[in-house]
Structure 1
Amino acid sequence: MSAFDPTHHLPDDLLERIRERAAVHDQENTFPQQDLDELRDAGYLSILVPRERGGAGLGLAEAAVLQQRLASAAPATALAINMHLVWTGVAKVFSDRGVPGLEFVQEGAAAGDVFAFGISEGGNDLVLFGSDTDALPQSDGGYAFTGTKIFTSLAPVWTKLGLHGLDTTSADAPKLVFAFVGRTDAVVTSDDWDTLGMRGTQSRTTRLNGAVAAPEHVVRRIDPGPNPDPIVFGIFSVFEILLASVYTGIARRGLDLAVGAAKGRRSKKTGTTYSQDPDIRWRIADMALAYDALPPQIAALAADVDERADHGARWFTLLSGLKHRAVVMAKQVVDDAMLVAGGGSYFSSNELSRLYRDVLAGMFHPSDPESAHATAASAWLGPVEG
């Protein structure tokens, strides 16, 4: 097998075009439609789809590298595409483990469908383990979903929305239902995305008014609460790894910009570039030491998912910890990059200014710092008594 070449799936010229457009979408608060079109034409939406179903047949480890690369050019574009890749990644988790039910996601992605992630709900800190959305069973085996989803990235363009809701009326209720709905009059997308950063994701609020999932698009019915079902593991593993990848990509860009600034700025006091200043050298070394730890961690955990490693209950600590470390590292690296670059980085026209705002979004994605620490504490100390 030939070595994996990221430039084959994400060529340099495409990456530069995406980079050039990123500032415009941030300033205008618009969705990067041209980025999506070019990525779709390049086959990027189906990188995790098996070759036999029309995709590139890549693994999660390779997709993570590509998402780091894409995020270094346009964080909002990468984060938006992440949500589509989560579903194709979950489909890969299923097919790799012989679990049927998500073949239509793979075939749809290869055909050009855009899958959005409709899990987040305001005030629902159960996330995957519960839902305030009502899932009403239909006579044909489908479900009608009524509720509100927040942070629905790709809001203007998705063709299929993967979501969950709670069935409280069936004989075996309650059951969490995972399914996919299409765009119909029963799905209302608000134009309410006006945020500090990650503006290009257009992660708008979605209101479901009896949106129907066909029987063949009802993927899973499981008990609420922590659950070993493949849908829970698939979503959690792919989501956390790809999130860590995006924020690690932001950190890499911040580090590169800091290095460029240090080499390009010249001190009036010493007559040398700031790259010769011992304090600046220490700061950039500190940034590099922090950054260098994350790509190998991402690669190792992603490979474990691809190779079906068995970490048992430790999976959730490992995955939430990876995402948490990536975000903490990226925030610190970008903060230090601002200091290295100097006051010019404070202007909104400076790329570091945008990265500084974009990286802040990381703290709001599951697993948040509280959840990551609670998971780690339970793993090492056992559950809270009483």
Structure 2
Amino acid sequence: MLEEIAATAAVHDRDGSFPFDSLALLQKAGILSLTVPIALGGGGAGLALAAEAVSRVGAACPATALVLAMQFVRQAAIARSGIWPLDLRQRIGREAVTDGALINALRVEPELGSPTRGGLPATVARLRAGHWSISGHKRYATGAPGLRWMEVLARTEEERPRIGTFLVPADARGVALVETWNHLGLRASGSHDVVLTEVAVPLDHAIGLVPAAEWGRPDPVQSAWTTMLVSAVYTGAARAARDWILRFLHARVPSNLGAPLATLPRVIEAVGAIEAALAANARITEAVTLATDAGFPPTTAESGLLKVTLADNAVLAVERAVALAGNHAHDRAHALERHWRDVQCARVHVPTADAAHLAAGRAALAAVKPQETPK
């Protein structure tokens, strides 16, 4: 299955086409419902197994892996949640099992940017007779062409606005997909814009409405899931780059050397540096996922720092492979060129380095009471 997904990755990247075929293979194998509870027919997987699955798919096609990561994150969050109506939880989980139905959260907006940096969403939910009416504009809706469900972050149109998620069927009247995604990397992820115009949803599709001041409180488990699964996408891409450069170094025999590049000490050392970055990511992922599954997730601030570290290591590993390949790495005929473009997206996921360092710095400083200047 992974070989089939990898075989079509270059075509989807070149065309910017959505990988429906790859997702169909994952559905056939039961992977799209891996984190759906066993009681609903899913795999009931924890974070450790989910991260391994995303990483393996990431080595084949990172764009497909990002869609999969979002599916895992949302299905696991819904299964843990005590605020979702039972019938909706069961329906969403069962549809993932039987149909491979995809779900993702739509939060980013043109005006707001990422809600993690504060501010009220511009997307508004108006209470009508017997339903909510949702209007707004969302960006970077990963998997948009293939979604069945959209968790839309919005504020209510009330004297004291509340913020929460509104479950919107992707095929609802008033939902429009605008094909804006044309990025350097992950070109097949379908992370387009979605415009909602007076979309009617049932009253019970409003999830977790709270006063604006209370929204966005830290959730260590959710932060760990998002951090580790998104990072696994790019660790997978870095592993694919490592595998490519190893084959290249063994096969490349310059005439002036008379031996494969793999025999040069400086090349061997550079490969060792790639291995160091990947080993660090593997051990961090193992430790954090197992701890989270055991009920001991890192703090939200720690997850942010780990995301930065995992992203930096993945980028570094691929850049070292590019340096070893030289001009060959810039040839679109070679997969390494695509791996380099894909891994550049690792650093733009929230939290970015500045936000992660700021949150961790504040937490560290707040933990120590002001005293006299140390002598």
Q: Same fold (TM over 0.5)?
A: yes
Q: CA offset at residue 310 of structure 1?
A: 5.9
Q: Check if 1:373 corresponds to 2:357.
A: yes
Aligned letter for 1:132?
A
Q: Which one of 188, 199, 204 corresponds to residue 187 of structure 2?
A: 199
Deviations 1:133-167 (A, max 9, x none): 11223443x43221110011112121111121011
Q: Check if 1:341 corresponds to 2:325.
A: yes
Q: CA offset at residue 123 of structure 1?
A: 4.1
| Equivalence for 1:135 | 125
Q: CA offset at residue 225 of structure 1?
A: 4.9
Q: CA offset at residue 99 of structure 1?
A: 5.7
Aligned letter for 2:144?
A
| Equivalence for 1:5 | none
Q: Check if 1:164 corresponds to 2:153.
A: yes
Q: What secondary structure does 2:147 align onto? A: coil
Q: Which one of 9, 12, 17 corresponds to residue 25 of structure 1?
A: 12
Contact 1:222 1:229 in 2 (8 A): no
| Equivalence for 1:175 | 162
Q: Which one of 69, 73, 77 corresponds to residue 64 of structure 2?
A: 77
Q: CA offset at residue 78 of structure 1?
A: 0.6
Contact 1:136 1:144 in 2 (8 A): yes
Hey, which bits of structure 1, 4+ residues long, moved more than 4 A?
225-230, 232-235
For structure 1, which segment, 302-311 or 57-66, has the greater mean C-alpha deviation from structure 2 after superposition?
Answer: 302-311
| Equivalence for 1:150 | 139
- Note the 1:1-386 alignment, pairs <5 A: 14-94=1-81, 100-101=84-85, 102-112=89-99, 113-125=101-113, 127-128=115-116, 130-140=120-130, 142-169=131-158, 173-182=160-169, 183-225=171-213, 227=215, 233=220, 235-309=222-296, 311=298, 315-382=299-366
Take 2:255 and 2:278, find their aligned partners in 1: how far apart are those partners? 31
Contact 1:248 1:294 in 2 (8 A): yes
Aligned letter for 1:151?
Y
TM-score (norm 1): 0.87
Q: CA offset at residue 337 of structure 1?
A: 0.7
Take 2:345 and 2:245, find their aligned partners in 1: how far apart are those partners? 21
Deviations 1:71-122 (A, max 9, x none): 001011111222222211212332xxx6654344322322322113211112
Q: Aligned in 2, Cα 1:27/1:21: closer, same or farther, shift over 3 Å?
A: same
Q: CA offset at residue 290 of structure 1?
A: 1.2
Aligned residues: 360
The unaligned stretches of length 5 or more in structure 1 are 1-13
Take 1:263 and 1:225, find their aligned partners in 2: how far apart are those partners? 58
Aligned letter for 1:20?
A
Q: Aligned in 2, Cα 1:116/1:100: closer, same or farther, shift over 3 Å?
A: closer
Q: CA offset at residue 328 of structure 1?
A: 1.1
Q: What secondary structure does 1:292 align onto? A: helix
Q: What secondary structure does 1:46 align onto? A: coil
Contact 1:64 1:245 in 2 (8 A): yes
Aligned letter for 1:301?
V
Matched residues, percent identical? 24
Q: Aligned in 2, Cα 1:125/1:301: closer, same or farther, shift over 3 Å?
A: farther
Q: CA offset at residue 238 of structure 1?
A: 2.2
For structure 1, which segment, 282-291 or 78-87, has the greater mean C-alpha deviation from structure 2 after superposition?
Answer: 78-87
Q: CA offset at residue 270 of structure 1?
A: 3.0
Take 1:70 and 1:258, find their aligned partners in 2: how far apart are those partners? 19
Aligned letter for 1:381?
L
Aligned letter for 1:379?
A
Contact 2:127 2:157 in 1 (8 A): no
CA-based RMSD of the aligned residues comes to: 2.1
Q: CA offset at residue 16 of structure 1?
A: 0.2
